Amino acid sequence: MARASGAYVCSDCGGQSAQWLGRCPHCGSWNTLVETRAAAPARRGGALGRPAREAAALAPASTVQDLAGIEPALQQHMPSGIGELDRALGGGLVAGSVVLLGGDPGIGKSTLLLQVLGSLAGTTRVLYVSGEESAAQVGLRAQRLGLQQSAVRLMAEIQLERIGEALAAERPAVCVIDSIQTVYTEELSSAPGSVAQVRECAAQLTRHAKSAGTCVVLVGHVTKEGALAGPRVLEHMVDTVLYFEGDTHSNYRLIRAIKNRFGGVGELGVFAMTERGLKGVANPSAIFLSHHGAPVPGSCVLATLEGSRPLLVEIQALADGAAAPSPRRLSVGLDPARLAMLLAVLHRHAGVSCADQDVFVNAVGGVRVGEPAADLAVLLAIQSSLRNRALPRGLVAFGEVGLAGEIRPAPRGQERLREAAKLGFSAAIIPAANAPRGKPQQLDGMQLHPVQRIEEALELLRSLPDGG
């Protein structure tokens, strides 16, 4: 659909406005209206070229059906050859699906996808479309990864019509578009990366994936705030959205699924960057735990849950005397607003005041912990730092803390405890509702300490032997 000359388009929702406004009238976002040039009249048949138009003409017309008469088809997952990526995808790639992979520049998106195609090239047809690098640059990366002899088909192109012709001719099972922000169609006169171009190119590629059964993987840029660049509708079009996280100064990378129509949301894949590319980490809990020679004050191990995977993450806290009238509250990897709430609960129900203390909390390893089951471990770490007394060696904790001071249960508590027992932890402070029914004080050799309130947990902490 052609837009009026001088239209302004919202980068969040894609809504249009005839004039620039500080706030989008459609979604209410501020400073998101971007001027776009008028589109050329759309040619009949779409932007993927003549072969795609001919295939669409031969496709049967859609009809209205009864839901009860439709036989559901099981979606078969195709393993990518990289186990941690398959975990995040819910089992692997699905024919006809569209996957959007976003991440910071240089974090390893192109490297990972080239490894995936190299693994699949031996059994199926794959195509890598590079819009940011030349064929020689991609070949250099393949040589570094040891994939120079693989049967990956490569195309360096950014025009959507030519990409569509290649897809119709090659008929790959998996196609990678690196990246969607570089692709443009002649149907629109705006520049590549604009809201209109990204939305139209993604829609055409999604339509081709559904009709041809090709799994299309789109690489997406991110903004300085960490969100995917382009219109928000891009995330609604695709079937799966993956975020590549991690510090570029660290060797570890995380892939998190925030949307998945063929698997669970919140699944986490952990990788290590090596000279030969990204390798899956078999025991990710090891990278989220610091290895101290002796227990130190202000450290507590949390048994958290990322998707279906239990992980052990070390929570570190530091309470120091405030030099300013307003004490600082800073958290890395945890919700800052929740930290302020937990300090208020600690004061109100346990009588421990931090009004004259700067409080800093950190989740080791760069992982982001979003679940409320981290509350108890955070408060135990803060109390340990305040008293300058280390927690007992081999202690793990989890549980949500309510505003009334109660310790609420966490989902799948026994799986968390078994993961801790497997890694050698010997004791756990847990919500009373998560204690096993048969032997509430023991599980897989671990000594369990069920608690119902925060003051009970701190009193238990005083009775346990000093870890130092």
Q: Which residues of 234-266 are buried (b: 16+ CB within 10 A; e: fewer)?
A: bbebbbbbbbbbbeeeeebbbbbbeebebbeeb
Q: How confident is the model at residue 62 (pLDDT cuts 50, 70, 90)?
A: low
Long-range contacts of 341-345 (CB under 8 A, 24+ apart): 341/403, 342/375, 342/378, 342/379, 342/382, 342/401, 343/382, 345/379, 345/401, 345/402, 345/403, 345/405, 345/454
232 — pLDDT class (breaks 50, 70, 90): confident
C-alpha closest to that of 125 among 238, 215, 51, 202: 215
Mean pLDDT, to the nearest integer, of 114-129?
Answer: 95
pLDDT for 250: 75
Reported in sequence order, the residue ranges of 374-445 that DSSP labels E, i.e. its strands, are 395-397, 400-401, 407-408, 427-431, 442-443
Note the pLDDT of residue 46.
Answer: 55
pLDDT band for position 49 (cuts 50, 70, 90): low
Rounded distance, CA 370 to CA 365, Å? 15
How far does Cα 70 stand from its chain's mean position? 33
For residue 365, give the nearest of 293, 312, 308 by alpha carbon.
312
**Helix or strand or coil: residue 73?**
coil
Task: Return the amino acid letter for 410.
Answer: A
| pLDDT at residue 61 in the model | 60
Interval 142-162 mean pLDDT: 93
Taking the C-alpha atoms of residue 138 and residue 377, their distance in angstroms, rounded to an integer, is 46
pLDDT given at position 101 = 96
What are the start-end ranges of the E strands in 41-171?
77-78, 93-94, 98-103, 126-130, 153-156
Query: Residue 41: how many CB atoms within 10 A of its CB?
Result: 9
Q: How far apart are CA 396 and CA 394, in angstroms?
A: 7
Mean pLDDT for the stretch of residues 2-30: 77
Report the pLDDT averaged over residues 212-221: 95
**DSSP 8-state assignment for residue 130:** E
Higher pLDDT, 46 or 142: 142
Give the residue, 338 or 264, on which the prediction is more confident: 338
pLDDT at 56: 46
Query: Above 90 in pLDDT, residue 295?
Result: no
Phi/psi region, residue 130 (left: phi>0; alpha: psi -120 to 50; beta: rest), is beta
Taking the C-alpha atoms of residue 389 and residue 383, their distance in angstroms, rounded to an integer, is 9
**What is the average per-residue pLDDT within 287-311?**
85
Task: Give the pLDDT score at 47.
Answer: 54
| Mean pLDDT on 434-440 | 80
Percent of the chain with pLDDT over 90: 58
User: What's the whole-number mean pLDDT along residues 112-122?
Assistant: 94
- Does the pLDDT value for residue 55 go beyond 70? no
Higher pLDDT, 450 or 45: 450
Interval 245-264 mean pLDDT: 85
**Per-residue pLDDT, 37:** 62
pLDDT band at 5 (very low <50, low <70, confident <90, very high): low
β-bridge mates for residue 277, sequence order: 274
Question: Given the DSSP bridges, would you call strands 427-431 and 395-397 parallel, antiparallel or unpaired?
Answer: parallel
Mean pLDDT of 137-150: 92
Average pLDDT over residues 322-339: 91
Band the pLDDT of 35: cuts 50, 70, 90: confident
Length of the chain: 468
CA distance 263 to 308: 11
Q: Cis check for the bond before 179: say yes or no (omega within 30 of 0).
A: yes
Model pLDDT for residues 162-200, shown as the tens digit of each residue:
999 999 999 999 999 999 999 999 988 888 888 889 999
Q: pLDDT digit string (tens) for 345-388?
A: 999 999 999 999 999 999 987 788 989 999 999 999 999 999 99
Query: Which pLDDT belongs to residue 400?
Result: 97
Four-CA torsion 258, 233, 215, 51, nearest 10 degrees: 180
Point out the least confidently predicted range of 151-165, 283-297, 365-379, 386-400. 283-297
The per-residue pLDDT for 248 is: 66
What is the number of alpha carbons within 13 Å of residue 138 lying toward its C-beta?
Answer: 26
Give the mean model confidence (pLDDT) for residues 429-458.
88
Closest CA to 23 of 36, 10, 37: 10
pLDDT at 59 over 50: no
pLDDT at 30 (0 to 100): 86
Quick check: 43 pLDDT over 70? no
* DSSP class per residue in 148-196: TTS--EEEE--BHHHHHHHHHHH--SEEEEE-GGG-B-TT--SPTTSHH
Cα dist. 54→21, 27, 100, 307 in Å? 42, 38, 27, 43
What pLDDT, on a 0 to 100 scale, did the predictor assign at position 42?
A: 47
pLDDT of amino acid 467: 60
Q: What is the DSSP letter of 318?
A: E
Report the greatest alpha carbon distance in the chain: 77
Q: Is the pLDDT of residue 239 over 60?
A: yes
Decide if 46 contacts 55 (C-beta within 8 A): no
For residue 405, pLDDT over 80 is answered with yes
As a whole number, the mean pLDDT across the chain is 87
pLDDT score at 44: 45
